[in-house]
């Protein structure tokens, strides 16, 4: 059977646009002679639709779009993700579904059995799980139609100790399925694409079946979908692979032996993103889709001469084009000439526009009106925060006046311990590097410079400083970033206890103070712009931590 994997980039809620995208890719698949074209999970609604699923018109429109696809009468059959109504009188009203469209009609429907409720997922809020998933006959083959989580039961891709009561793939194997199709909307995190491939390669060998995995590409809100769809032979070898972080259409013939797939798409199928390159591609896509799908073209950000704003500016220039990015220098009396020089050098390297708006007078007016100031010439925390808030106000005013969106430049290390100012450096529509530790920001800067200097060496070598008072350095208020990042990573990503982290060689007092500071600053993070998610555990939608709580559990 010739199967086309249609790796599309749908927009949440744009049912008409998504259906048109499905049709366009279906006609391309038909022109290639495909017997079947496979589309991602919830391709018609976009993923995740969240509370749009509570709108009756939304459900009805998605069902009408499915019928219109069937009415096209294409020679190529389609496997399309959509939302179905639950015919049962009990349970949730909706089903996360896949339709097999063939011969001008909906020939079969299957529904998702395993509904994830961890991290960013909350599918049990909306959907009823399917009780069974039987294989079906199509074009002389026994095929199984599965949706995302259904294929991962009992594998290393799921969180630790997550055990489902049933295994849809085991049922399909018992039914002698020769081809297992999995449609997916699997959000990206670092290293996930290679892990998926390894796990499903083992499953293909175990089942002695072809596996066709169709993943969504693109980004919606904080979630990035890397694509990286593929097909596997019964021996576990790759027989086709789609592009990373881009739409693509690839064809696999299950009657032919597996071979090295040809290069295709914007990012070659043979070209694998790893490490910093993978993160760079993900964040670039996340910025581009956030702006594009929201109807914005241009970004503004503060250029401080530091590493964080430099990396965000470089990512924005990649995503939107240099002509659509404006960097604003906002020096105060505490800003060194070096900072301005480095910021202007970066802007020249990137080819982005700059503006220079000093905040000295704005800051002075704040101090006069509030009658605040430090004793004996000290620059108090209030005074430091006023500078940051003045800058945030300038950026938001420029965004309002010019129909731009503001990029926040904070990193995960700072956000973890609250080393940021609400309504100041946290102001913005989106925070591209908020899921990257400071040490990872430096690695990303090195990658961005791998083809020639983009970020000036002086920026990379300079000790980090907020420059809100004379002689200020980040390390005056924080542990060394290498230490801070590892403590937070162990706590966040590995869910280690304070005692376990201390057992890794860190001083107990430092671990406890860091983790208490982390939990005490949840109120700040709840008010931050969305952070593009690139790790297993970010400070975004997937971390549901109360703001008001005792910190006695950190001991």
CB atoms within 10 A of CB 87: 6
| H or E stretch at 413 | helix 412-417
Q: Is 112 considered catalytic here?
A: yes
Q: Beta strand 77-85 with 248-253: parallel, antiparallel or unpaired?
A: unpaired
CB atoms within 10 A of CB 40: 32
Residue 13 has phi, psi (to 5 degrees) of 90, -15
Helices 360-370 and 381-402, interaxial angle, to 10°?
120
Catalytic one of 30, 148, 278, 533: 148
CA distance 135 to 510: 56
Q: Is 522 considered catalytic here?
A: no
Catalytic one of 112, 192, 293, 412: 112
Q: Give the N- to C-terminal CA distance of the chain in Å, as an integer.
A: 60
**H-helix segments, 242-359:** 275-294, 307-320, 337-350
Sheet strands side by side (includes 105-111)? 105-111, 94-102, 77-85, 36-38, 2-7, 248-253
Strands (E), 358-464: 405-406, 430-431
Of 151, 264, 269, nearest to 209 by C-alpha is 151
Q: Is 222 considered catalytic here?
A: no
Q: Beta strand 299-302 with 405-406: parallel, antiparallel or unpaired?
A: parallel
CA distance 10 to 300: 26
DSSP code per residue over 63-111: HHHHHHHHHT--SSEEEEEEEEE--SSSS-SEEEEEEEEETTEEEEEEE
Residue 299 has phi, psi (to 5 degrees) of -120, 155
Of 102, 103, 98, nearest to 113 by C-alpha is 98
Catalytic one of 30, 41, 149, 440: 41
Half-sphere exposure of 188 (CA within 13 A, CB side): 33
Structure tokens of 548? 């008001």
Q: Which residues are catalytic?
A: 41, 112, 148
């Amino acid at each position: 059977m010739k199967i086309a994997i249609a790796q599309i980039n749908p927009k949440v809620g744009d049912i008409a646009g998504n259906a048109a995208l499905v049709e366009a890719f279906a006609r391309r698949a038909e022109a290639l002679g495909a017997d079947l074209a496979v589309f991602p999970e919830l391709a018609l609604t976009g993923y995740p639709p969240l509370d749009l699923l509570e709108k009756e018109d939304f459900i009805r429109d998605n069902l009408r779009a499915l019928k219109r696809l069937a009415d096209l009468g294409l020679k190529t059959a389609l496997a399309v993700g959509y939302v179905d109504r639950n015919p049962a009188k009990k349970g949730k009203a909706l089903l996360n579904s896949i339709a097999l469209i063939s011969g001008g009609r909906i020939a079969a429907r299957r529904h998702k059995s395993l509904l994830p409720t961890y991290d960013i997922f909350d599918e049990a809020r909306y959907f009823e799980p399917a009780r069974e998933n039987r294989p079906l006959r199509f074009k002389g083959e026994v095929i199984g139609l599965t949706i995302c989580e259904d294929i991962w039961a009992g594998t290393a891709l799921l969180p630790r100790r997550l055990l489902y009561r049933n295994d849809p793939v085991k049922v399909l194997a018992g039914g002698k399925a020769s081809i297992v199709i999995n449609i997916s909307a699997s959000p990206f995190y670092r290293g996930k694409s290679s892990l998926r491939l390894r796990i499903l390669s083992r499953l293909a060998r175990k089942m002695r079946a072809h596996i066709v995995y169709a993943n969504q590409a693109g980004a919606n809100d904080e979630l990035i979908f890397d694509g990286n769809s593929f097909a596997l032979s019964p021996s576990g070898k790759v027989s086709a692979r789609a592009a990373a972080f881009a739409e693509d259409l690839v064809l696999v013939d299950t009657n032919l032996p597996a071979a090295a797939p040809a290069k295709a798409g914007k990012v070659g199928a043979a070209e694998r993103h790893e490490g910093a390159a993978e993160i760079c591609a993900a964040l670039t896509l996340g910025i581009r889709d956030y702006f594009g799908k929201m109807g914005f073209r241009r970004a503004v950000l503060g250029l401080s001469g530091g590493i964080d704003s430099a990396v965000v500016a470089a990512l924005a220039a990649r995503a939107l084009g240099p002509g659509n990015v404006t960097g604003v220098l906002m020096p105060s009396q505490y800003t060194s000439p070096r900072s301005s020089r480095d910021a202007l050098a970066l802007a020249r390297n990137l080819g982005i526009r700059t503006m220079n708006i000093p905040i000295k007078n704005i800051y002075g007016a704040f101090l006069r009106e509030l009658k605040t100031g430090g004793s004996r010439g000290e620059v108090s925390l209030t005074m430091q925060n006023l500078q940051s808030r003045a800058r945030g106000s300038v950026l938001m005013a420029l965004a309002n006046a010019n129909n731009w969106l503001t990029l926040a430049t904070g990193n995960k290390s700072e956000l973890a311990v609250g080393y940021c100012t609400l309504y100041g450096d946290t102001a913005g529509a989106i925070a591209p590097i908020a899921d990257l530790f400071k040490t990872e920001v430096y690695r990303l800067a090195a990658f961005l410079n791998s083809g020639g200097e983009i970020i000036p060496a002086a920026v990379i070598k300079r000790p980090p400083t907020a420059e809100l008072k004379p002689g200020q350095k980040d390390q005056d208020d924080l542990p060394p970033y290498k230490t801070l990042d590892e403590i937070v990573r162990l706590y966040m990503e590995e869910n280690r206890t304070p005692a376990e982290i201390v057992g890794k060689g860190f001083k107990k007092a430092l671990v406890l103070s860091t983790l208490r500071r982390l939990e005490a600053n949840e109120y700040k993070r709840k008010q931050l712009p969305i952070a593009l998610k690139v790790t297993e555990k970010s400070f975004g939608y997937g971390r549901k931590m109360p703001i008001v709580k005792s910190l006695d559990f950190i001991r």
